[in-house]
Amino acid sequence: MAILVTGGTGYIGSHTVVDLLNHDYDVVIVDNFVNSKPEVLNRITRITGKTPRFYEVDVCDEAKLEEVFKKENITDIIHFAGLKSVAESVAKPQLYIDNNIGSSKVLLRLMTKYHVHNIVFSSSATVYGVPDHVPLKESDKVGGCTNPYGQTKLDIEYLLKDYAKEHNDANIAILRYFNPIGAHSSGLIGEDPQGIPNNLMPYITQVAVGKRDHLNVYGSDYNTPDGTGVRDYIHVVDLARGHLFALRKLESKPGLVIYNLGTGKGTSVLDLVRAFEKANDIKINYVICDRRPGDIDENYADCHKAWEEMGFKTEFDIVDACRDSWHWQKNNPNGYGD
Ligand code: NAD
Ligand code: UD1
């Protein structure tokens, strides 16, 4: 009765593994460390006092992954493994197709062969493309993705829908994450981007720790209250908890279900900078510059469905997330490399 967590040493995966272990789930992680470090496993043990079973396996390697299915009694899968850099996906779209879609196809084949019925998939609000309104509901139109990374997420959603049509006993939760930020309150695990961060919060924390001189605010002429981009920032610990709610939902054999995981609140770039300054009493220098290609004015989630059907809602706000992101960065200025 084990939960297979692919990509379980990554940012969201590691927080989810901690929550699963704290709730006495039997956890098996597979990861190939393409974007994470083995040290994460020690940190998970330090937080939980438990050591999950771990296999260094590329999910695209069907033969090796099958060994894990043979050895372990897997009943459920949470599929985090994937590449997620928008810029890299523009430069290397085939890599993203092969890794993200390829790994999902391998998992579905092994699910059929080993009679595993339940899977939770990490999708993204990016599947909504350029929204014509907010908040975004699960029933809103998808498509028009602005980059190959986003397109792989949408293509995997379609793969899963086809799989559910052919397999009456499959239970699939597609979770569309909005923008995860924050870290575990222990300061032992958090987001550890390689190189220059693409995303806003790790950039802010690197300015705060003195690794970067200032934040570049990408545009102040968006159609938003203060002109900077608006997003729905969800604390990663809340997001992780959402996966346990999804696993419980799958126990009721719902077939395929889709949920937004967000807070339902829009926060601008400057709101987040101010929240960080207030939470941590640190000044963040910033410079307003040109828009980043592909960025949208605003998106935030309608969270009613996750609440009504799974009883899930967030507990933390952006001030908590700013405090926890900083705690992680301050204690680990070079991430897991320290
Ligand atoms: P992450 O890069 O920190 O974690 C992904 C993990 O998967 C890494 O540990 C990486 O080494 C592993 N991995 C990648 N390809 C693999 C493969 N073929 N075989 C084995 N392991 C592999 O990313 P994250 O932020 O934790 O995101 C987790 C999932 O959620 C991803 O699928 C991502 O696309 C999705 N998502 C993330 C965000 C976000 O803002 N972080 C938003 C929406 C969706
Ligand atoms: C980005 C990706 C999206 C992906 C998501 C989570 C793009 C175009 N979109 O979304 O596909 O699912 O990350 O990984 O890359 N900002 C700055 N300065 C910075 C960084 C960001 O001003 O240095 C602004 C952005 O313009 C945006 C907001 O901060 O308004 C959030 O940016 P980011 O954290 O990159 O997330 P998304 O753009 O929502």
- Three-state SS letters, 131-180: CCCCCECCCCCCCCCCCHHHHHHHHHHHHHHHHHHHCCCCEEEEEEECEE
What per-residue confidence (pLDDT) applies to 146?
86
Cα separation, 125 vs 233, in Å, equals 12
Closest ligand to Cα 206: 2
- Collapsing DSSP states into helix, strand and coil, what is residue 65? helix
Contact 10, 36 (CB under 8 A): yes
Q: How far is the CA of 80 from the centre of ligand 1 (A)?
A: 5
pTM to 2 decimal places: 0.98
Q: What are the strands, taking DSSP E only, across the chain?
A: 2-6, 26-31, 53-56, 74-79, 118-124, 171-177, 179-181, 215-218, 230-231, 233-235, 256-261, 267-268, 286-289
Q: How far is the CA of 218 from the centre of ligand 2 (A)?
A: 9
What are residue 29's DSSP bridge partners? 5, 54
What per-residue confidence (pLDDT) applies to 306?
98
What per-residue confidence (pLDDT) applies to 338?
57
Atom of ligand 2 nearest to the CA of 293: 8
Atom of ligand 1 nearest to the CA of 191: 3
Q: Along the 338 residues of the chain, how does pLDDT read in single tens digits?
A: 899 999 999 999 999 999 999 999 999 999 999 999 999 999 999 999 999 999 999 999 999 999 999 999 999 999 999 999 999 999 999 999 999 999 999 999 999 999 999 999 999 999 999 999 999 999 999 999 989 999 999 999 999 999 999 999 999 999 999 999 999 999 999 999 999 999 999 999 999 999 999 999 999 999 999 999 999 999 999 999 999 999 999 999 999 999 999 999 999 999 999 999 999 999 999 999 999 998 999 999 999 999 999 999 999 999 999 999 999 999 999 999 85
Q: Is the CB of 203 under 6 A from ligand 2?
A: yes
